[in-house]
Chain A
Amino acid sequence: MFMENKASDGEQPRVGVYVCYCGMNIASKVDVEALRQFAEKLPNVVVSRTYKFMCSDPGQELIAQDIKEQKLNRIVVASCSPLLHDATFRKACAKAGLNPFYFTMANIREQVSWVTANSAAATKKAKALVAAAVARVAMHEALEKKRVPVHADVMVVGAGISGIHAALLLANAGKKVYLVEREPSIGGHMGQLDKTFPTLDCSACILTPKMSEVKNHPNITLWTLSDVQEVSGFSGNFKVKVKRNPRFVKLELCVACGQCVEACVFKEGRVPDEYNIGLSKHKPIYMPFPQATPASVLIDPNACLKLSRGKCASKCVEACDRAAIDFEQKVEYSEVEVGAIILATGYQLFDATKMPEYGYGKYPNVYTMIELERLVNAAGPTQGEIVMRDGRKPKRVGIIHCVGSRDKRHHPYCSGVCCMVSLKMAHLMRERIDAEVFNFYIDMRTTLKGYEEFYDRVLHDGVNFVRGRVAEVTDWAMTPGEEGKLVIRVEDTLIGVVRRIPVDMVVLATAMEAHDDADDVRRKFNISCSKEGWFLERHPKLAPVSTFSDGIFLAGVCQGPKDIPESVAQAGAAAAEALSLVDKGFVEIEPNSAWIDADTCSGCKTCIPLCPYHAISRDEQKKVAVVNEALCKGCGTCVGACPSGSAQQKLFTDQQLHQEIEGVLNYV
């Protein structure tokens, strides 16, 4: 019965098949002319053509012309993935007066030519796919896209430089922005850096104005110490539940005068300070850092005697004349509706103890780069004085690039920024303490504007460069000059000799890596990530800040390693994408929703709890299931589960799928 060649709407199908060369992408493997001839002989096919680039204007025009002249009522394009050009060809059909859903694509590029070296096999598979598409398209029906209004507010998750920049752009465009940050202050990693390459402007000087702009912006609602708990809904209409952890200090009252910190019963710091990477300690009540935003102290509930043991003289409460301290604060949950979400959750740094050959954690004078950033910073644990853990000042410093990067045992990718960070640090060590500096690199990557010039400047500074990956940092001395030093063992690959270089201080340029909880976050937002844990963009070139979930965009390093200018540029792009979505006022929804055939539905309720979007309910009068089309996302779960076959889905009807299968089987 399935080979009955009558269209679903009673009309006799007149199919046009268009085989794309895609330049050499398809034509180098698939015999496109043979495919065209094959398609010509398939049932219902009226015309079959090939073209170099079907997606080009002349290619689309070809289809439009045939629709008009040959009275085609079904179109099949055999080319690339529907993800790329489904919309293009649907539009071409619509322009020629044909309902765009009388169209289907056969993917003979990603699923055929790109995945085999065998030309004969490729052509054979392409024929099977085209036969299936021709059989399927006969069963297509005219459908209409639905329009749904969108919510104009936007949420930005993560308030490092990327999140801050995106939030400000949107807020300045008049959109209400919820900015969610899990740390007590905004600013992210950029707030920890001393100077930025290649211009050497002070990181805090360029970041803090933006931080205070966030705080004072009437369109931005800032939630720190907060986490997104749950996301539901769809593009244009998300519902987000945010968990807001207590600060135990009333934000609106605190002026960060610091008298409470002074008064705390602990006279010395006792909690390793995250901002200073543990190089200093803070008290249970503390200010994260001088420019922290919001400018307010907070209390660490695990360290505070009052909060952890219930017993304390609470000197802080006495000291605060604004009565801002509130031990009764509890976790709060806020639920908001937004039209778009920008993820700017950033990164973490590679744990250097995973490479014991470099001695981090074993030898006190081995530092990570971010530790050194704090050490050279005037607001850092030593007020910018460069003294090592053993109290000495380094005379000779070795900077090791690629720690955890370009290493299949850790991260196979290049972190991109470490070369420039290491050059900057080499420069600072020359400038500030006149130290002798050795940089150990595998390949020097200084590709962006002004970067190569900076490398040239550092070479001229007298920094020593050794091309070679360091094998080991050891305290094993072979010569008197090595006694009491850290010895770096490396092959100087440009000379072809192994060298042992004794230094006082070793600095490890550790890799950028995805957060440990990146996978949880991605699940919450229903997006994908690469195997390294970076959030996956929709298309690496043409949709670099979009995701496979409409309405969710990416900014900054959560998508992959980047430096500051790139992160900011990407944040701008994400803001523009979000704006283009929420400003339009509506979204069009693919008409692929499910429906229930009320005549055959037994009312068994199997589908109702299975629906992940809560789109199915039971009509108690008719005793049948009913789908709410506005909520249905077209996932097909109910269709698969329905025991009586009453649940059906547009664009994926049983008839269409059976025809598609028959098409393949008849050919094979």
Chain B
Amino acid sequence: MRYLYYPGCSLKGTGKAYDESLVAVFDKLGMDAKELPGWNCCGATAYMSVDETKAFALAARNLALAEQENGSDPIHLIAPCAACYLVLNKVQKYMAEYGHLREVIANSLKAVGLNYHGTVKVRHPLDVFVNDIGLDKIKAAVSHPLKGLKVASYYGCQVVRPYAEFDDQYNPQTMDQLMNALGADAVDWPLKTRCCGGTLTGTVEEAGLRMSYILLKEASKRGANIMATACPLCQFNLECYQGKMRGTFGDSIDLPVAFFTQIMGRAFGLEAKRIGLQRLFVPVKAAPAMA
């Protein structure tokens, strides 16, 4: 199957390691997933609060480009960033549900020489790895089983909500299955989909910081020695603010937080630099089998 890859802005910035490790894993698994040429910002959550229709039009432009790229083949567009994944899915649903919106967007796209027929399927890499590639093939690619690694799989909010397309929205399992397939132990914990604070960490720091802290604390309490994330903003909040959390909450919180694709890359024996391990603030070396 052919895929198109939509990295989104964050994966070219703070989430660079997500981009690097994801592409490396695509390679290792022999997947055809070229980057969507000419892609633009998805509209993102903050943008939605300025002008919703414009945000939808921005998202739709990417879908139109993807459709163009694949001609008549079914188009599977992989969107690893949770916010992009949500917005791209949401515009699909809302264009189908709200006629007025569909009309405005279709006409606007037409004016800049684009067309969208609604045929793109927006996929999260977790979905693709577990449901398309399959756990057996993943297991077969493991050269360094992650023995002793206790992973708290953190899905965050927007991967499973509001569109639980491929996993349960209350107790998702795909990342846990993936981690177990890599030889690690997925820790059962209750906050898998609780919000990390999102942009609040930047705007209302007191609120955002506490939300992230709650997650790290509970994961540690349940015995995790690493947290896996599927979203660049979650990873940023959970990892880069740990120093600040130690100061604010007087707690010795110190838990490596890596993209789930970095953990996959490690198990596949990929070189540390190729999967961006050097970009992490909290070194993963401390965690078993990650050194």
Are the CB atoms of B191 and A476 closer together than 8 Å? yes
Q: How far is the CA of A478 from the CA of B191 in the complex (A)?
A: 12
B residues in contact with A474, CB < 8 Å: 190
A residues in contact with B190, CB < 8 Å: 474-476
From residue B164, how far is it (CB to closest CB) to chain A in Å? Answer: 11
Are the CB atoms of B170 and A357 closer together than 8 Å? yes
User: Which A residues from 187 to 232 make CB contacts under 8 A with B?
Assistant: none
Are A356 and B168 also in contact (CB < 8 A) when A475-B190, A476-B191 are?
yes
> Nearest B residue to A478 by beta-carbon distance?
B214
Are the CB atoms of B191 and A356 closer together than 8 Å? no
User: Which A residues from 466 to 502 make CB contacts under 8 A with B?
Assistant: 474-476, 478
How many A-B contacts are there with CB distance less than 8 Å?
Answer: 10
Q: How far is the CA of A203 from the CA of B190 in the complex (A)?
A: 40
From residue B85, how far is it (CB to closest CB) to chain A in Å? Answer: 22
Interface residues on chain A, size class = under 10
> Nearest A residue to B214 by beta-carbon distance?
A478
Are A356 and B171 also in contact (CB < 8 A) when A475-B190, A476-B190, A476-B191 are?
yes
Q: Is B69 close to A, CB under 8 A?
A: no
Interface residues on chain B, size class = under 10
Q: Report B170-189 CB contacts with A as 1/0, cut-off 8 Å.
A: 11000000000000000000
Q: How far is the CA of A259 from the CA of B218 in the complex (A)?
A: 55
A residues in contact with B218, CB < 8 Å: 476
B residues in contact with A357, CB < 8 Å: 170
Q: How far is the CA of A475 from the CA of B168 in the complex (A)?
A: 19
From residue B198, how far is it (CB to closest CB) to chain A in Å? Answer: 19
Q: How far is the CA of A45 from the CA of B225 in the complex (A)?
A: 91
Q: How far is the CA of A476 from the CA of B214 in the complex (A)?
A: 10
Q: How far is the CA of A474 from the CA of B214 in the complex (A)?
A: 14
From residue A394, how far is it (CB to closest CB) to chain B in Å? Answer: 21
Q: How far is the CA of A357 from the CA of B194 in the complex (A)?
A: 13
Q: How far is the CA of A357 from the CA of B161 in the complex (A)?
A: 14
> Nearest B residue to A476 by beta-carbon distance?
B190
From residue B232, how far is it (CB to closest CB) to chain A in Å? Answer: 25
From residue B70, how far is it (CB to closest CB) to chain A in Å? Answer: 35
Q: Report B73-101 CB contacts with A as 1/0, cut-off 8 Å.
A: 00000000000000000000000000000
From residue A535, how far is it (CB to closest CB) to chain B in Å? Answer: 33
Q: How far is the CA of A478 from the CA of B168 in the complex (A)?
A: 25
> Nearest A residue to B222 by beta-carbon distance?
A476
From residue A519, how far is it (CB to closest CB) to chain B in Å? Answer: 27
From residue B3, how far is it (CB to closest CB) to chain A in Å? Answer: 31
A residues in contact with B170, CB < 8 Å: 356-357
From residue B39, how far is it (CB to closest CB) to chain A in Å? Answer: 35
From residue A397, how far is it (CB to closest CB) to chain B in Å? Answer: 21
> Nearest A residue to B218 by beta-carbon distance?
A476
From residue B286, how far is it (CB to closest CB) to chain A in Å? Answer: 25
User: Which B residues from 15 to 42 make CB contacts under 8 A with A?
Assistant: none
From residue B169, how far is it (CB to closest CB) to chain A in Å? Answer: 9
Q: How far is the CA of A605 from the CA of B170 in the complex (A)?
A: 60
A residues in contact with B214, CB < 8 Å: 478
User: Which B residues from 139 to 184 make CB contacts under 8 A with A?
Assistant: 168, 170-171
B residues in contact with A475, CB < 8 Å: 190
Q: How far is the CA of A319 from the CA of B170 in the complex (A)?
A: 53
Q: Report B182-210 CB contacts with A as 1/0, cut-off 8 Å.
A: 00000000110000000000000000000
Q: How far is the CA of A476 from the CA of B218 in the complex (A)?
A: 8
> Nearest A residue to B188 by beta-carbon distance?
A362
Q: How far is the CA of A356 from the CA of B191 in the complex (A)?
A: 14
Q: How far is the CA of A181 from the CA of B171 in the complex (A)?
A: 40
Listed from nearest, the 9 A-B pairs whose CB atoms lie closest are A356-B170, A476-B190, A474-B190, A357-B170, A356-B171, A476-B218, A476-B191, A475-B190, A356-B168
Residues of B within 8 A of A (CB): 168, 170-171, 190-191, 214, 218
- Given A356-B168, A356-B170, A476-B191, 5 additional A-B pairs, CB 8 A: A357-B170, A474-B190, A476-B190, A476-B218, A478-B214
Residues of A within 8 A of B (CB): 356-357, 474-476, 478
Question: What are 8 A-B contacts defined by CB distance under 8 Å?
Answer: A356-B168, A356-B170, A356-B171, A474-B190, A475-B190, A476-B191, A476-B218, A478-B214
